[in-house]
Structure 1
Amino acid sequence: MVRGKPVILVVVALLAGMLAGVSPAVATTPFFWGVATSGYQAEGSAPDSNWRRYEQAKTSSIKEPYLQSVDFRHHYAEDIDRAKQLGVNVFRFSVEWARIEPRPGQVDQAELAYYDDVVRHVVDAGMRPMITLDHWVYPGWVADQGGWDSDRTVDAWLANARRVVDRYKGFGAIWITINEPTVYLQNETANGGLAGWKLPWAQARLVKVHRAAYDLIHSLDPGALVSSNTAYIPAAQGILDASFLDQVRDKLDFAGLDYYYGASLDNLSAIHAASGEFWKVTPQPDGIYYALRYYARKFPGLPLYVVENGMPTDNGNARPDGYTRSDHLRDHIYWVQRAKADGMNVIGYNYWSLTDNYEWGSYQPRFGLYTVDARSDATLTRRPTDAVAAYRQLIAGHGVPAGYTPVRPPGFCSVVDGLGSCLDPARYPGPVAPLG
C-alpha cells in the first residue's frame, strides 16, 4: 500500500487535471474479486533484505520492530481458506526474492517448496493467484551491490523473474511485476537505500525490468495478464505517471491502481498520511470513481483493475466518526459500480488486506479484514471484522443492490483528478452496474 510523504502532493497539485473521452468498452470476462497480501509485510521469519536492514537500522520509517508479523509463512493454509470462504476468486501475494535466493545463485529449495504449496492451496481453493514479483523487497546481497543504483540489479532481477514465472506458469496467474514503482523508489531514498539525485536512473531501471518482464511472462505463460499497480495520488497522478506508467503503456494488459486517499475542497485530511497517521484521514469513497475515470480517459480501451483498496484504523479501534470498515467497503464498491455503469471497463477489485500486517515500520495502522495483534498475541489469532460478512455479501450479490445510498456522500468539489473531477462530477445519485 502507499505510504507517507508522496501524499503531500495532494496539496501541491490541486490544480492539475485534464478532460478527455472515456472508452465505452465493458468487460466481458467474469469480475475478479480478490484479497491481497505481501511477503515481507505478512510472512514473518524475515530473511536478509533491504527492508530487514532498514528495520534493524531503525531508519526514519521504522516505528517498531518487525517481530514475526502475522506469520503467513506458517498460517498460509488457513488464511487461504479464509479467503475462499469470502467467495473471492483472486488471491494476491508476492514471491519474495530475498527468501528464495538468499545468496547470489543459491536457491533455497525449501522456500520454493513453500511457495509451491501456497500456489497449490490457492488454485485448489478455486482462486487465481495474483503473483507480485517485487513488492519493494530485494535480497541483502543485492543491497550490497547497490540496489537499484546498479545495472547488475537489472540482470539479477530478471533472472529471478524467469525462475518464478517458469515455475508458476500454467496456473492461471495474474502477474504484477513491480508494486507501486514510484513509491517504491521514494521509500528507498527515504530509508537510505538510494541517493535522491540518482532517482532518474533507478526509475529507468524499473522501466527496463518491467518491459523485459512483460515480454518474458508472455513468452513463458501465454495468455496471462500482466501489469504493474500504481499508487493513485490525488491531483498529482499525471506527474507521477511520467516516471513509469507512461513509459510502459504498451506493456500493460490492464491499468492496475491502488486507491486509498482522496481529496475534495471540504476534505484535505489526506495530509495526515504524510506523517504516517493514516487512520486520521477521512475516507473519500467517491474518489475511486475519479481515479478509475482518469485511467479510462488516459488509456482508452485498457481494462482497469483496483489492485488495492482498504481503510486503516488506529490499532484496530473504532473510528471516532463511527465510519466502519464495512461502510468503507460498501461505499467504495458502490463507486466502482458507478464507474462500471458509466462505461468504464473495470475488471477487478482486491481488498487490502486479508489480515493486518507490518505496514512498513508499524503495526499501528490496521488494514485487515481479519485483525491480528502481532505485538502481544503469541497465537496470532485472526479475528474477523465487520467487513468479512460485508465482503462475502457483496461478492455473492455482485456488488451493492440498486438503490444503495453510500454512508459517506460525495465530497464538495472533488480534486482527485484535479479540477477535472470537480468540473465534471459523476451524477449522484446514479445507476450502478453489477460486477460479474
Structure 2
Amino acid sequence: MNAQAPFLWGAATAGHQVEGNNVNADIWLLEQVRGTTFKEPSGDACDSLNRWEEDVALIAGMGLNAYRFSTEWSRIEPAPGRFSRASLNHYAAIAQRCRAQGVAPVVTLSHFTSPRWFAAQGGWENSEAPALFERFAAQVAQALGDSVTHVVTFNEPNLPLMGRWTATPISDPVRDGLDAMLAEAARVSGSDRFSVWVYSRGEDVALSHLLEGHHRARRAWKSVAPQARIGLSLAVPDVQAVSDDRGVEAYRRFAETPFFEAVGEDDFVGVQTYGRLRLAADRVVGSDEAAERTQSGDEYYPQALGAAVRHAHAATGRPVFVTENGLAASDDDQRRRYLSAALRSLDEARRGGTPVIGYLHWSLLDNFEWRRGYSQQFGLVSVDRRTFRRTPKASAGVYADLVAARR
C-alpha cells in the first residue's frame, strides 16, 4: 500500500442485505422454502437497488472517504455464462458516483450469496467452482476496474469453520431444519446437491476450491486493473486463552491458518471483529453473567478490535484493513460508546506499529441480518420498513466527529 495513500474511513453494506428482491440468489431461495431457519425473508430489504445514490450521499455527508458495497453475482450472471450488462453498468455507476463524491469504492465480489444455479451445481464442492468464480470476477473487473480502489474477494469465508469449531453441538431440531431447508432448495432447483457455503460443514474440498477461487479472482482483477488493492476479509475475534493455550492453538489451526496462508501475496488482510472468544483446552468459556450485552446477546467488548488487528498482521505480515466492526444495538447510546472505545483500541494498535489502511463500520444501514431478519440493528442510519426513508442516528454524528478528529 502506498505510504502516502489516505487512511480510509467508511461504512459497509452487502448487496443481498440492502438491495432487495435478489431473487436469483441461493440465500433468497432458502428464505422461501419449507423448513426455513430464517426469521423472515429479505423482501425489499432497504431498497438500495433503487436508492443507492442516497446511500453514497450518506457516506459523503458524514465526511467519510470509503464505501464498501458488494456486486451480486446472481444479478450479474443470472444464468450460467449469461451476463447482465445492465447489472454491471449499475455497479459501475455506484463506483463512479463514489469517486465523484471523493469516496473510495471498496467492492466485495462475494458476500455470502451465490447464484442459485451455482449452488445447484454443488457450490464450492464443484470442481469447476474456481473457474466459474474467476470468470465472474473478470467480468466485474472489466466493468469496474478503472474506478475501484480496493477489492475484497470473499467475505468471512472462515465463518462456517469458526462456528463448527467453537459452537456446542447443534441441536437435532436445528440441524434437521437446516437439512430440510437445503433438501427443499435442491428439489426446487432440480438438483441433488444444493450447496451453500454459509451452511457448509467444513468439507476440505469446498475450502480448497474457495481459496483457489480467491487466487484466480485476484489474478483476473490484477490483469485488468493492476492498481487495485486486493484482499480477503476474515472473521477475526480477539481469541483469548483460559487456563492454557491448547484451545487457542487448535482453533487457529482450524479457523485461521489456511486463510492466513492464502493471503501471502495479497495487498491487505481484511479483519472483521465483533468481540472476543475465550477458549479453554476443549470448550468455549462464556463471559461473566454480569457482563454488558449487545442486542444480539453477545458480550459488549469493543477493545477486541485492537488485539485482533495486531494478531492478523503478526500472523500474515500483511497490512490490515478493518472491513467490518460494529455491534447490534437497539440503544444507540451503546453504539456511540462502542465506536469511541473500538477506535481508541485501533489507535493503540496503529501507534504500536501495526500497519492499518482503513476502518469500515458495519453497517451503514439497519438491514437484513440473514437468519435474524430485521430484528437487530447494526446501522448508523435507520431505515423505515415501509417508506425506506433513511434517518441518520446520533451515532452517525459521533462517528463523523471521531473521524474528523483523527484527520
TM-score by length of 2: 0.81
Q: How many angstroms does 1:282 deviate by?
A: 2.6
Say if 1:370 and 1:384, in contact at 8 Å, map to a contact too.
yes
Aligned mates of 1:43, 1:270 — CA distance in 2? 38
Q: Matches of residues 30-179 of structure 1 in structure 2 within 5 Å?
A: 30-57=6-33, 59=35, 61-179=37-155
Hey, what does 1:228 align to over in structure 2? 232
Say if 2:149 and 2:228, in contact at 8 Å, map to a contact too.
yes
Hey, what does 1:238 align to over in structure 2? 252
Hey, what does 1:384 align to over in structure 2? 392
Aligned mates of 1:117, 1:214 — CA distance in 2? 22
SS of structure 2 residue aligned to 1:35:
strand
SS of structure 1 residue aligned to 2:30:
helix
Hey, what does 1:397 align to over in structure 2? 405
Aligned mates of 2:350, 2:325 — CA distance in 1? 17
SS of structure 2 residue aligned to 1:114:
helix
Structure 1's 196 and 34: CA in aligned 2 closer, same or farther, altered over 3 A? Answer: closer
Aligned mates of 2:356, 2:342 — CA distance in 1? 13
Say if 1:26 and 1:343, in contact at 8 Å, map to a contact too.
no
Q: Is 1:318 aligned to 2:328, yes or no?
A: no
Q: Matches of residues 359-374 of structure 1 in structure 2 within 5 Å?
A: 359-361=369-371, 362-374=373-385
Amino acid aligned to 2:41: P
Say if 1:27 and 1:347, in contact at 8 Å, map to a contact too.
no
Aligned mates of 2:14, 2:288 — CA distance in 1? 24
Hey, what does 2:302 align to over in structure 1? 285
Q: How many angstroms does 1:172 deviate by?
A: 4.0
Q: How many angstroms does 1:284 deviate by?
A: 0.8
Q: How many angstroms does 1:26 deviate by?
A: 11
Structure 1's 187 and 111: CA in aligned 2 closer, same or farther, altered over 3 A? Answer: farther
Q: 2:316 aligns with which of 299, 303, 326?
A: 299
Aligned mates of 2:114, 2:162 — CA distance in 1? 15
Q: Which one is further off, 106-115 or 205-214?
A: 106-115
Q: How many angstroms does 1:61 deviate by?
A: 3.7
Q: How many angstroms does 1:185 deviate by?
A: 6.8
- Paired-residue identity, %: 29
Hey, what does 1:309 align to over in structure 2? 325
Aligned mates of 1:260, 1:383 — CA distance in 2? 24
More RCO (CA 8 Å, sep 6+): 1
Q: 1:330 aligns with which of 315, 340, 344?
A: 340
SS of structure 1 residue aligned to 2:327:
coil
Structure 1's 58 and 331: CA in aligned 2 closer, same or farther, altered over 3 A? Answer: farther
Hey, what does 2:286 align to over in structure 1? 268
Say if 2:23 and 2:29, in contact at 8 Å, map to a contact too.
no
Structure 1's 58 and 32: CA in aligned 2 closer, same or farther, altered over 3 A? Answer: farther
Q: How many angstroms does 1:94 deviate by?
A: 0.6
SS of structure 2 residue aligned to 1:366:
coil
CA RMSD of aligned residues (A): 2.7
SS of structure 2 residue aligned to 1:290:
helix
Aligned mates of 1:113, 1:211 — CA distance in 2? 25
Q: Structure 1: which 5+ residue stretches go unaligned? A: 1-24, 272-276, 399-435
Question: How many residues end up aligned between the 2 structures?
Answer: 360
Structure 1's 197 and 305: CA in aligned 2 closer, same or farther, altered over 3 A? Answer: closer
Query: 1:63-82: per-residue Cα shift (whole Å, max 9, x none)?
Result: 11222111110110011101
Q: How many angstroms does 1:198 deviate by?
A: 6.3
Say if 1:95 and 1:133, in contact at 8 Å, map to a contact too.
yes
Structure 1's 26 and 93: CA in aligned 2 closer, same or farther, altered over 3 A? Answer: closer
SS of structure 2 residue aligned to 1:215:
helix
Hey, what does 1:253 align to over in structure 2? 267
Amino acid aligned to 2:322: V
Q: How many angstroms does 1:280 deviate by?
A: 1.8
Say if 1:134 and 1:179, in contact at 8 Å, map to a contact too.
yes
Hey, what does 1:420 align to over in structure 2? none
Aligned mates of 1:196, 1:171 — CA distance in 2? 34
Q: Structure 2: which 5+ residue stretches go unaligned? A: 165-174, 183-194, 240-247, 280-284
Aligned mates of 1:270, 1:153 — CA distance in 2? 43
Hey, what does 1:217 align to over in structure 2? 221
Structure 1's 199 and 264: CA in aligned 2 closer, same or farther, altered over 3 A? Answer: closer
SS of structure 2 residue aligned to 1:164:
helix
Hey, what does 2:207 align to over in structure 1? 203
Aligned mates of 2:35, 2:153 — CA distance in 1? 26
Query: 1:116-163: per-residue Cα shift (whole Å, max 9, x none)?
Result: 221221111111110111111111111221111111222211111000
